[in-house]
Structure 1
Amino acid sequence: MPTVGRPEAGEYALYFERYVALVPGEDPVAALEEQATTAGRMLRGLSEAGAGFRYAAGKWSVREVVGHCADAERVFGYRALSFARGEKAALPPFDENEFARLAGHDGVALAELLDEFAAVRAATLHLLRHLPAAAWQRRGVASGKEISVRAIAFVMAGHVEHHVAILSEKYGVPPRG
């Protein structure tokens, strides 16, 4: 796999800087691989009652956070695939709150949601590991903003880091180790 390198500021919308900044190093695939083994570990021992916890009214439950991470990774993965393959059509935004409301994640066991996230992440990794070098630089428009494939990979990793931090800070889930 070619060295990807960090995306430059012009490769993604300013909104995504908060995610890109959370990813160390130059290799988003390495960050995604590390998360594949550690992110789920922090939640595996949580009870089903704990998985239903919301830190405030109107906030997602732990289950909904995990389901959201899987859904977001699917969306970002489709964007990466599309732009890597040269898609010229602009891709629509997705309403994360509407996705969460309609998903029914609170009716799914936490272990099942963690398995689902692991499966989605495995598919993401298979896609990214086999991209030709030129594909990482390709760009497309999603949510009305231009973004490169390598920026999407960093956003995916940073998005999960963001939610891992929230699970630790707001939900009281012990940090992964």
Structure 2
Amino acid sequence: MTEPAPFQRYLDLAPERNCGLALQIQFEQEFPKFQLVSEEQSDVVHPPYQWTIKQVIGHLSDTEHVFAYRALRFARGDTTPLPGFDQDAYMLKANFNDQTYPQLLEELTTVRRSTIALFASLPEEAFDREGTASGFPWTVRNLGRCCVGHVRHHLEIVQRRVGGA
């Protein structure tokens, strides 16, 4: 199966084969770094970026919802091609800046716990099941890896923006 090209950078950041374990370890070891961002820091746009950190956290939740939904569909053998989603269009309709940073972190935490539970419930053979989303082929495993790599990508940016989060 060909790797989903637009998401290759996230897959490169998550080389772990056991994506279920990687999701759990990341939750335990990397998610606490988001707690180091203050409410004040979370409201700032740091050029050249266009989103506040609150918006980044909301984007992480939205994206993980989408990737986990895709993984569920493919794990259950549903091969119906799934459409893409436009993160910028989502952002236009989101109200992330109207929420508190702790509220957004709580949602992200809840979404990740749900993703961990989903991947933990899958039989081993489900991880190699395939489907198409956004016009690209995926496996369930690569969707899990993408969740991990996507968070790693954005956490690195958040840490640069606030100096050590």
User: What TM-score results when the alignment is normalised by the length of structure 2?
Assistant: 0.93
Q: Secondary structure at the residue paired with 2:35?
A: coil
- The aligned residue for residue 108 of structure 1 is 99
| Equivalent position of 1:73 in the other structure | 64
150, 159, 164: which one aligns with 1:168: 159
Report the counterpart of residue 131 of structure 1 in structure 2: 122
Counterpart residue number, 1:43: 34
Shift in CA distance, 116/146, structure 1 to aligned 2, threshold 3 Å: same
The structure 1 segments of at least 4 consecutive aligned residues displaced by more than 3 Å after TM superposition are none
Over residues 48-76 of structure 1, what are the superposed CA-to-partner deviations in whole Å (9 max), with x where a residue is unaligned?
22110111276110000000000000000
Tell me, what secondary structure is at the counterpart of 1:140?
strand
Cα displacement (A) at 1:26: 2.6
Judging by fraction of residues, say which structure has more helix: 2
| Inter-partner Cα distance in structure 2 for 1:41 and 1:158 | 16
| Structure 2 portions without partners, runs of 5+ | none
Alpha-carbon shift at residue 105 of structure 1 (Å) = 0.3
Task: Give TM-score, length-normalised by structure 1.
Answer: 0.87
Change in 2 beyond 3 A, CA 1:101/1:38: farther
Aligned pair count? 165
What do residues 5-37 of structure 1 show as CA deviations (whole Å, max 9, x unaligned)? xxxxx3431222211111243321222112212
RMSD over aligned Cα atoms: 1.6
